């Protein structure tokens, strides 16, 4: 678990994507630098808080779907600051024995997740870098307390929600996804969302990219065609790659962007890694 010394070493003067996202959702696990950066994005793209809420609702639906398919372990990379309806809570509503490992680059997000999960043998959180997938996978396989949560030889629900757009170089991003996909057992699932180039004006994207360039994780908007490439080697389930409010919508979720789904700002999809023929 995190210590007071670890918390004291955290640089709160530099914004991070995880804490800015927490601010968009109305959370309190953020600092003045995060709020100032987030407000600059909101000033240019006022719908960002609604986009974040709509995205979070999609993630809950996607986790329920994958849990309903029988998956009993979830690896959430880029999990962010804990908020209402966390992955382990949603999945354990379907099957109480479900295990979850959260991974984030932001030490504040990890500390808060560890505090939330204290005493929970079925879930944990660690600091890790999506940009170094082989290193992260090796850690999971070799550290007994992590391999007890995630067994890569069995089907896994891999969640990459709103995180791949923080790997700017296309080839690096596709290589990361290839490494992760190839590590997963047949019958695993990939739950992924990504910021859409089609949703925003160029000026809006420029402002957002400049703001996130000051964080540890500069961002990159991608087109639908570019995002679809992340799912190569998998079987996308219906309705395929769509805007977040279009993916198996529920009346229990915020009814936002229903008339103009592209304004939700994010593509999303859920795909299965098939058994070898």
Q: What pLDDT is stored for residue 274 in this prediction?
A: 86
E strands, the chain, are: 73-77, 99-104, 123-127, 157-160, 189-195, 235-236, 242-243, 266-272
Q: What pLDDT is stored for residue 276 in this prediction?
A: 64
DSSP codes, 188-226: -EEEEEEEBGGGS-HHHHHHHHHHHTTSSS----B-HHH
- CA–CA gap between residue 166 and residue 185 (Å, rounded): 26
Provide the CB-side half-sphere exposure for 72 (13 A, CA). Answer: 10
Q: What pLDDT is stored for residue 1 in this prediction?
A: 35
Q: What pLDDT is stored for residue 277 in this prediction?
A: 54
Q: What pLDDT is stored for residue 84 in this prediction?
A: 74
What pairs with residue 272 in β-bridges? 189, 235
Q: What pLDDT is stored for residue 10 in this prediction?
A: 80
Residuewise pLDDT in 10s, the chain (277 residues): 333 344 446 889 999 999 999 999 999 999 999 999 999 999 999 999 999 999 999 999 999 999 999 999 999 999 999 887 899 999 999 999 999 999 999 999 999 999 999 989 999 999 999 999 999 999 999 999 999 999 999 999 999 999 999 999 999 999 999 999 999 999 999 999 999 999 999 999 999 999 999 999 999 999 999 999 999 999 999 999 999 999 999 988 888 999 999 999 999 999 999 876 5
Task: Give me the residue label for tokens 């999609």.
Answer: 58
């Amino acid at each position: 678990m995190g210590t007071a010394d670890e918390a004291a070493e955290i640089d709160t003067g530099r914004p991070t994507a995880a804490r800015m996202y927490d601010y968009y959702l109305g959370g309190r696990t953020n600092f003045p630098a995060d709020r100032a950066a987030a407000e600059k994005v909101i000033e240019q793209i006022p719908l960002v808080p609604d986009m974040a809420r709509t995205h979070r609702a999609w993630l809950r639906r996607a986790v329920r779907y994958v849990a309903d398919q029988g998956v009993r372990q979830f690896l959430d990379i880029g999990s962010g600051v804990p908020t209402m309806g966390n992955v382990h809570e949603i999945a354990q509503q379907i099957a109480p024995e479900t295990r979850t490992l959260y991974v984030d680059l932001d030490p504040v997000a990890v500390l808060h997740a560890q505090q939330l999960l204290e005493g929970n043998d079925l879930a944990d959180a660690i600091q890790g870098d999506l940009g170094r997938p082989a290193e992260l996978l090796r850690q999971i396989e070799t550290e007994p307390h992590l391999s007890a949560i995630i067994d890569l030889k069995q089907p896994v629900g891999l969640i990459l929600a709103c995180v791949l757009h923080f790997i700017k170089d296309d080839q690096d991003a596709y290589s990361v996804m290839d490494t992760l996909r190839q590590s997963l057992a047949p019958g695993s699932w990939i739950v992924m969302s990504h910021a859409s180039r089609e949703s925003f004006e160029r000026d809006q994207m420029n402002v957002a990219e400049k703001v996130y360039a000051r964080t540890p994780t500069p961002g990159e908007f991608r087109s639908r065609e570019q995002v679809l490439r992340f799912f190569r080697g998998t079987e996308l389930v219906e309705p395929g790659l769509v805007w977040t409010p279009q993916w198996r919508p529920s009346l229990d979720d915020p009814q936002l962007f229903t008339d103009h789904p592209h304004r939700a700002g994010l593509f999303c999809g859920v795909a299965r890694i098939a058994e070898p023929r």
